């Protein structure tokens, strides 16, 4: 694994496609000027804007949901357990990674736990919707970079040895464009971790409220990763042990609000504790190598081939 960081890393101009070597400083300095074509990329509050025309549009995600998420993620069994799984997989498969990019970092709830998990040389969170980044800023140390971009067109080549998109690409019609862009941004030998909702038969109003394009079928995410330059190191379901509950909840009529539907937040704290205990046990087994065949989400670890 050593020596990976010796590979050259580049930022890439979205206007003229010229690349410029990154030399220890930020991946994308705010107000970056492309030396090849002279284009100056706009920025706001120190956040480079690579797709300002898409910012805070309701394309794939309603920015108003960030407020709700920021308030409800901490302590919520699903988000807490998912963080344990994602950080655990990064530690298990890419213990030497030092440069991490999270696509669709939202309010920074996942990035915060990555930040705490090891010493990073570069930690970058990207979002299409800068509304989430205000929360992320507050949660994370000042050296963490934030950037607004379209994940289908990441202005970097080999700049990261670990990348991730956690419940993001199901919002995007051309999800393979995102995987292709992630492969380009990840150096060869580096890794990516992708989480998506699974099983079309679990499709519910929650998916519509959340602006999902799809839930993933068996083998779909793995095939898409392979097609776009990744080898599969590990693949498992997440929330496998809650699948009977999830299936049952879709069979009964509900009178909950749209937001509760979207994130299944309509829970008592006792129920939350029980579900968290179940998922902690599941995550422990997953990190020990158990690959669950079915569950609400699919998590795949790939290596940039
Ligand atoms: Zn240029």
Distance from residue 236's CA to the centre of ligand 1 (Å): 40
For position 265, what pLDDT does the model report?
55
Separation of CA 120 and ligand 1 centre (Å): 29
The reported pTM is 0.91
The per-residue pLDDT for 1 is 40
Cα-to-chain-centroid distance, residue 190: 16
Q: Which residue, 117, 88, 120, is CA-closest to 101?
A: 120
Q: Give the distance (Å) from ligand 1 centre to CA of residue 159.
A: 18
Say how many Å lie between the CA of residue 31 and the centre of ligand 1: 13
pLDDT for 6 equals 55
Measured in Å, residue 40 CA sits from the centre of ligand 1 at 9
Q: Give the distance (Å) from ligand 1 centre to CA of residue 185.
A: 17
CA of 181 to the centre of ligand 1 (A): 18
CA 177 to ligand 1 centroid distance, Å: 21
35-55 burial, b if ≥16 CB within 10 A, otherwise e? eeeeeebebeeebbbbbeeeb
- How confident is the prediction along the chain (305 residues), in pLDDT tens digits per residue? 444 445 789 999 999 999 999 987 799 999 999 999 999 999 998 999 999 888 866 666 677 778 888 888 888 999 999 999 999 999 999 999 999 999 999 999 999 999 999 999 999 999 998 888 888 998 999 999 999 999 999 999 999 999 999 999 999 999 999 999 999 999 999 999 999 999 998 898 888 888 899 999 999 999 999 999 999 999 999 999 998 888 777 765 444 444 454 455 567 888 889 999 999 999 999 999 999 999 999 999 999 99
Whether residue 137 contacts residue 161, with contact meaning beta carbons closer than 8 Å, is answered with no
Nearest Cα residue to 243 out of 295, 202, 286:
295
Dihedral sign computed on CA atoms, order 16, 22, 23, 27: positive
Contact residues for 214 (Cβ-Cβ < 8 A; gap 6+): 170, 200
Question: Which domains, from first to last, does the chain contain?
Answer: 43-304 (3.40.50.150)
CA of 134 to the centre of ligand 1 (A): 28
Q: Residue 2's pLDDT is what?
A: 41
At residue 18, φ and ψ (nearest 5 deg) are -65, 150
């Amino acid at each position: 694994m050593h020596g990976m960081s010796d590979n050259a890393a580049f930022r890439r101009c979205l206007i003229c496609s010229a690349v410029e070597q990154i030399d220890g400083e930020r991946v994308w300095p705010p107000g970056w000027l492309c030396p090849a074509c002279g284009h100056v990329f706009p920025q706001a509050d120190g956040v480079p804007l690579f797709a300002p025309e898409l910012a805070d549009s309701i394309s794939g995600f309603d920015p108003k949901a960030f407020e709700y998420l920021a308030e409800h993620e901490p302590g919520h069994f699903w988000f807490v357990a998912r963080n344990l799984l994602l950080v655990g997989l990064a530690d298990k498969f890419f213990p030497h990674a030092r440069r991490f990019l999270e696509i669709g970092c939202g309010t920074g709830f996942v990035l915060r736990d990555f930040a705490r998990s090891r010493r990073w040389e570069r930690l970058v969170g990207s979002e299409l919707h800068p509304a989430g980044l205000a929360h992320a800023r507050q949660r994370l140390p000042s050296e963490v970079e934030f950037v607004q971009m379209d994940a289908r067109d990441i202005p970097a080549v080999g700049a990261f040895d670990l990348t991730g998109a956690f419940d993001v690409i199901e919002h995007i019609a051309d999800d393979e464009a995102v995987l292709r862009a992630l492969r380009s941004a990840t150096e060869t030998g580096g890794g990516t971790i992708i989480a998506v909702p699974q099983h079309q038969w679990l499709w519910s109003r929650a998916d519509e409220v959340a602006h999902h394009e799809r839930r993933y079928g068996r083998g779909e995410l793995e095939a898409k990763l392979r097609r776009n330059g990744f080898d599969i190191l590990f693949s498992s379901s997440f929330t496998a042990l809650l699948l009977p509950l999830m299936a049952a909840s879709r069979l009964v009529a509900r009178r909950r609000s749209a937001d509760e539907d979207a994130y299944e937040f309509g829970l008592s704290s006792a129920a939350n504790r029980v579900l968290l205990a179940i998922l902690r046990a599941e995550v422990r087994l997953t990190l020990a190598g158990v690959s669950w065949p079915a569950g609400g989400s699919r998590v795949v670890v790939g290596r940039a081939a």
